[in-house]
Structure 1
Amino acid sequence: MVKPVRWFPSAASRRNTLAVRIAGRRSPRRKPVRSCPSAKPPSPSTASSHRAPVGVESSRRSVDLDGVLPPDLLVEILLRLTSKSICRLRAVCRSWLSFTSDPYFASAHAARHPLPLLAIGVARNFPTMTVDLMDLSGNVVKRIPQDGIGKVVSITSDLVFIDRNYHSSVLDPTTGSTISVLPHHQYQKHDKYALSAGCVWFAFGRTAGSIGEYKFVRILLKEYDYVSCEVITVSDMNGKWRKMENPPSYLDFFCNSGLVFKGVAYFLLSNYSEPSLIETGCLPSLDLTTEKWSMTLQGPVKTIIEEADGTLDYYCLTNRLSLAELKGTLTIAFSNKRLHVADIWFLVDSDKGSWSKEYRINVLDGIMHGDFFRVQPLLVMDDGKVVLLLKRGSIEMLQIYSPVTNTSLDITQIISNYYGGVPTKEC
């Protein structure tokens, strides 16, 4: 079980203690702020007056901050910046390089900016499973046992949703406790073999607005006919599944997890839908507040086909598209098997349906081999790297792509019911 290092008790004492340990002094009176510290190395007499121990073992190590902000204020400012910004500031001068390279500062900054964890549902000993929280090095930092076999359907900023055959539950990854168990689904009354005989789509997230209620949507299709489309409010202790209108068209069979973005659940369209809908690339969307469907937002499908210049048609996109929320906006990834690349499109204007291709990621030929291959973006890190899930059948590979070097690093290979990323808390 991993926790961020906590060696200071309060916000004020954290800044002051860190400033003392790094800078060696705390000035009772603030000096005038300069826009940039002097790059000139300090004289021995000046430097020695600002030197003090940094911890017990490194008592002789010191950092000079002459001409910069007061240490406690500088610490607070730097702790709020991202790692990418900190790396850039190291080039300002030697004193800032030493300041930001100090291990105490690194520990404090890591506590302020915890790296994300990935939630993986793993079936271990039937009929039980675990939800594993994995860091970006492939290490499992927390394992949460669960009764029964299920699927990690969706993940919000602080909750994990697990769906089982006839009931669902909401898990708090921080405490490992189940905070809500939803009642049996309506379709259990119709057909207990419905799951094995049809296709199921899910969506879980908050409604828009200040209240932000959690809702869960579940859609069942059997023999090309919607058996059930129902929704439940998770926060309602006496909540019941409510029937709602069916989707306006067939949903993508290969992408059964809807993405909730700003209170709206987005899905992909199936190629069995009306040709007019397929050609416009409309995205079926469900407003979680009104619980009404819409087909107004157009995806980048038409642009993808036009860029292919006759080498692709709409049916070539089957099992090649995936939805994600990256950098605060809706995105669609297209896995181009012919070019061995994955393009990530970002929504620019929802009213105009305009999209911008911001990433083209090279994928190894051996990985992209096969009919059931798809790249699922998970998140963009502070340094610009993209965490990806490469799906090929039942085998899934986690990778980190660097746009600077245009290379990808394998994290780990998993065989599981996997979905999404969870921001680190003190797990």
Structure 2
Amino acid sequence: MEGTTGARKRQRIASAATAYIPDDVIRDILLRLPSRSVLRFRAVCKAWLRIASDPKFALEHHRRQPSLPLVSFLRGGAVDGKGVDAVDFCVEALDLRTDDFRSVVRFTDTNERCGRFGIHGSCDGLLLLSFDDRLYVCNPATHQWTRLPTPLNSSRFAGFYRHDHTGEYRALFYRGSWPGSDYYILVADSRKGRGIGLPSEKDVYKFKEAPSGPPALHRGSLHWPPQQWENHYILVFNTVTEVFRGLLPPPVIRKHMSLLEMENNLTIFSCGEDVTMVELWLLQDYENQKWICKHRIELPAMKVSTYRFKEPWHVFFMSEEGIVLVNPQQKLLHYDINGDLRESFRCDGCHLKITLYTLKESLIRHRFFEMQNNVGDGEDEPPPFFWGL
């Protein structure tokens, strides 16, 4: 009884302290905060709860959030209750404006089971994650989740996106074996998938295999990094018409090229084998497929020239806020847009990786999360992505 009385007293004090602050000022302050802080401050008083629970607030808050690169690593050595060595699998978002980290995903399990985890896509604050051969659409900000149908055998994930006409969140897959090669789609609030065929005959010779590398969603279409066959064309999938086509790459082809959307433009960051120089190419004229080199940055050769890698999205990320690189000592190095070292972070774990996926936090409510039955027959048990958070 005393605990309840104390809580009510603290709430009255908080309400009195904030009563003279106009609602629009409170709203503007909350809009500038990360999702986790907004969720905590909703408990201050009824007025703050009302402001932060407004759907229009959620939309504006999501619009203002930065797109943060995701970093993953393992932190191990712990022993669970059964005496078995366990590790923490951690995914964190790095805010390049403040050089701060935000926890996104974490769970403790054996090293073998942590190896079954994967990040496959990011869209509108939602992540497409896999664990134990199951696919989940999750919102890290609200810890909500739902399952996708089980992919077909011999399938490869291709992309994750929002279908504008229906509002559905869909996952695109490529199946390259019997009973035939084709693309097909799974929907977050459905238990069934459907096939959509292959690119047209005039383009199929350019794209004989599934695209590699994470795609960028721009103008309602998925764009994959330049493919190494047939003149490094960029494969484009229109998510409305569900038609594939090809797009010309930048005039300069580098060993490593990755796509992303930046300030409503399609961009490519690229580098050679030794990572001593990185470039940011911008598709200035989308209709006429004309690229310009917006930034060309030289990095300190003595620090990174000997570091070679096969998968650039695991060790390298670039945006308008600068460049993030993982060096051989498992450090995160943040260079500014001029190539000067701004910050250095030592990882307190192992297997440090940067994914090309970014997270733009969202408090928007989705119907398929509300419909999720979290108590089931074992098929819908909550995934372990948010343990320890």
Report the TM-score range of the alignment, normalised by the length of the smaller protein.
0.5 to 0.7
Deviations 1:142-195 (A, max 9, x none): 54338851211221221011135743211110122322233232327xxxxxxx
Which among 133, 141, 150 is matched to residue 174 of structure 1? 141
C-alpha change, 1:412 and 1:116, in structure 2 (3 Å) is farther
Deviations 1:72-111 (A, max 9, x none): 99x689869999xxxxxxxxxxxxxxxxxxxxxxxxxx99
Alignment of 1:241-256 (within 5 A): 241-242=194-195, 244-245=197-198, 248=204, 249-250=206-207, 255-256=212-213
Give the TM-score of the pair, scaled to structure 2: 0.60
Q: Displacement of 1:342 after TM fit?
A: 0.6
Partners of 1:162 and 1:177 in 2: CA distance: 13
Partners of 2:257 and 2:136 in 1: CA distance: 28
Structure with max Cα Rg: 1
Tell me which amino acid in the other structure corresponds to 1:17. I
Q: Does structure 1 residue 144 correspond to structure 2 residue 106?
A: yes
Partners of 2:332 and 2:258 in 1: CA distance: 15
Q: Does structure 1 residue 203 correspond to structure 2 residue 153?
A: no
Describe the SS at the equivalent of 2:124.
Answer: coil
Q: Displacement of 1:238 after TM fit?
A: 2.5
Partners of 1:243 and 1:253 in 2: CA distance: 14
Alignment of 1:13-412 (within 5 A): 16-17=20-21, 117-122=68-73, 130-136=89-95, 137=99, 139=101, 141-145=103-107, 148=113, 149-163=116-130, 166-187=133-154, 200-207=156-163, 209-219=164-174, 228-242=181-195, 244-245=197-198, 248=204, 249-250=206-207, 255-271=212-228, 273-274=229-230, 278=231, 281-295=232-246, 297-300=247-250, 302=251, 304=252, 317-318=254-255, 320-337=256-273, 340-365=276-301, 366-372=303-309, 374=312, 376-377=316-317, 379-380=319-320, 385-386=321-322, 388-390=323-325, 398-403=332-337, 406-412=340-346
Describe the SS at the equivalent of 1:204.
Answer: strand
Deviations 1:42-84 (A, max 9, x none): xxxxxxxxxxxxxxxxxxxxxxxxxxxxxx99x689869999x
C-alpha change, 1:118 and 1:166, in structure 2 (3 Å) is same
Q: Displacement of 1:347 after TM fit?
A: 1.3
Deviations 1:197-246 (A, max 9, x none): xxx45211113x35332121123568xx9975433242342222535216
Q: Displacement of 1:345 after TM fit?
A: 0.8
2:126–2:137 CA contact under 8 A, matched in 1: yes
2:75–2:90 CA contact under 8 A, matched in 1: no
Larger RCO (alpha carbons 8 Å, 6+ apart): 2
Q: Does structure 1 residue 422 correspond to structure 2 residue 359?
A: yes
Partners of 2:268 and 2:333 in 1: CA distance: 18
Bigger strand share:
2
Describe the SS at the equivalent of 2:193.
Answer: coil
2:93–2:359 CA contact under 8 A, matched in 1: no
Partners of 1:115 and 1:263 in 2: CA distance: 20
Q: How many residues align?
A: 299
C-alpha change, 1:159 and 1:7, in structure 2 (3 Å) is farther
Partners of 2:360 and 2:282 in 1: CA distance: 22
C-alpha change, 1:361 and 1:254, in structure 2 (3 Å) is farther
Partners of 1:291 and 1:179 in 2: CA distance: 24
1:202–1:218 CA contact under 8 A, matched in 2: yes
Describe the SS at the equivalent of 1:186.
Answer: coil
Q: Which structure 1 residue ranges, 5 or more long, are not aligned?
A: 1-5, 19-71, 84-109, 189-199, 305-313
C-alpha change, 1:112 and 1:335, in structure 2 (3 Å) is closer
2:125–2:361 CA contact under 8 A, matched in 1: no
Partners of 1:418 and 1:221 in 2: CA distance: 28
1:232–1:242 CA contact under 8 A, matched in 2: yes
Q: Displacement of 1:294 after TM fit?
A: 0.3
Tell me which amino acid in the other structure corresponds to 2:309. F
1:213–1:235 CA contact under 8 A, matched in 2: yes
Partners of 2:13 and 2:332 in 1: CA distance: 35
Describe the SS at the equivalent of 2:154.
Answer: helix
Q: Displacement of 1:402 after TM fit?
A: 2.5
